[in-house]
Amino acid sequence: MPRPPEVLDRRALNRALLARQMLLRPVRLSAASAIERLVGMQAQAPSLPYVGLWARLQGFQPDELSRLVQSRRAVRTTIMRNTIHLVTARDALRLKPLFQPLHERGFFRGSPWGRNLKTMNPDALLAAGREIMGERPHTIAELARLLAPRFPDHDALSLAYGVRYLLPMVFATPRGIWQAAGPVSLTTVEAWLDRSAGPAITPDELVLRYLGAFGPASPADMRAWSGLAMRPAFERMRPGLRIFRDEHGIELFDLPRAPRPAAATPVPVRLLPDYDNILLAHADRTRIMAPGQHLGLFSSNGVMKGSLLVDGFIRAGWRPIADQGGTTLVVTPFDEPIRRQDHAPVTEEGLRLLAFLAPGEHRVRFGPVNAEARQPPGSTASRRRA
């Protein structure tokens, strides 16, 4: 009889994920190679990939990624789960065709703008959108004003969002460049990258890349990450993959030679941006978060926030607050206070992050559980950074 699959407990899955996410120790790798290894990075806010790469790469400097974005070798575009990711241009051209049907379904089934256009033949709209957005980048508001006289019987904003989701689009600079401001404007993939999207990545290849970045994982995990149903690809590839089970008996697939460190492998403190890939890549997030913990780590009103890993698991949120003479990183635990012996490594990593984000006087303050708004005395450390 064949041997039953090895069972991987929560900590073993955690260490495997951290190893593939380059979070057990910083690696020496180019920004472009890291982005491709991660199969893109969450980029709803332009700054998020910069912090994500800072947490993963030795000596990462924001200018390296800015140059990639300025030279159009990396782009922000809508891909997995209909959300904005930063990917290399090479990946954008291959991933967009596979995910474009997902964008179309999401627009027509899940948005009020799509419902407004259900009776419209989209061909004329897409031809107009391709012409307008191919000339130069436009904001959605600008696009709506330009489309309104061409289709006076339809809601202009719905028309603009139809173009946004039904054509392969990318976000234009200067947004996406480190600390550069600019409007949220888009243009077509073809106009920005000087070639049409395609040929599409195959589902089998995407499964291999997903497992390389997030495995061991189930088809349900990959669907949570991508928005695509990929079980047929997993089944086709089953003979060449390793099979495990988690503590609940769920079947997990993995690459045969992928790293799976021991569950006891030590993990340094890590500060990650909100929306980081590691939080959104599995249907069962307990390999990185406490059971029952929700994703209450997101930005609001443009304020950067993020999550703190202690011993490899999400323990707290962080937020930089500008104050007189500098910046304070407020660390707010989610379930229980940060242990006193962990204060020093968290402070050291927090000061390192603040030095990356902004010059000036830097402090780290530990708040009580779920008490960001009360601003208690807490523990404080400071260091001057240029």
Domain residue spans of the chain:
20-193, 289-367
Bond preceding residue 199 cis, omega within 30 of 0: yes
Contacts of 236 (CB under 8 A, 6+ apart): 204
Task: Tell me how far apart the alpha carbons of residues 348 and 361 are, in angstroms, rounded to a whole number.
Answer: 14
pLDDT of residue 381: 43
pLDDT of residue 286: 94
Which parts of the chain are beta strand (E)? Answer: 6-8, 41-42, 74-78, 84-88, 138-139, 169-171, 185-188, 242-246, 251-254, 270-273, 306-310, 313-323, 326-333, 360-366, 380-385
- Tokens for 186, please give them: 């888009």
Amino acid at 143: L
Task: Tell me how far apart the alpha carbons of residues 27 and 32 are, in angstroms, rounded to a whole number.
Answer: 13
pLDDT of residue 334: 87
The pLDDT tens digits of the residues spanning 261-302 come to 999 999 999 999 988 989 999 999 999 998 877 665 444 544
The pLDDT tens digits of the residues spanning 46-80 come to 999 999 999 999 999 999 999 999 999 999 999 99
Contacts of 294 (CB under 8 A, 6+ apart): none
**Predicted model pTM:** 0.91
- Tokens for 352, please give them: 């390192």
Cβ-in-10-Å burial (0-12, 13-18, 19+) of 252 comes to buried
HSE at residue 99, side-chain half, CA atoms within 13 A, is: 24
φ, ψ for residue 181 (rounded to 5)? Answer: -100, 160
pLDDT per residue, tens digit, the chain (386 aa), is 678 899 999 999 999 999 999 999 999 999 999 999 999 999 999 999 999 999 999 999 999 999 999 999 999 999 999 999 999 999 999 999 999 999 998 888 888 898 888 888 889 999 999 999 999 999 999 999 999 999 999 999 999 999 999 999 999 999 999 999 899 999 999 999 999 999 999 999 999 999 999 999 999 999 999 999 999 999 999 999 999 999 999 999 999 999 999 999 999 999 999 889 899 999 999 999 988 776 654 445 445 589 999 999 999 999 999 988 799 999 999 888 999 999 999 999 999 999 999 889 999 999 888 543 333 334 444 333 33
The pLDDT tens digits of the residues spanning 119-139 come to 888 899 999 999 999 999 999
Cβ-in-10-Å burial (0-12, 13-18, 19+) of 111 comes to middle
How many residues are recorded in the chain? 386
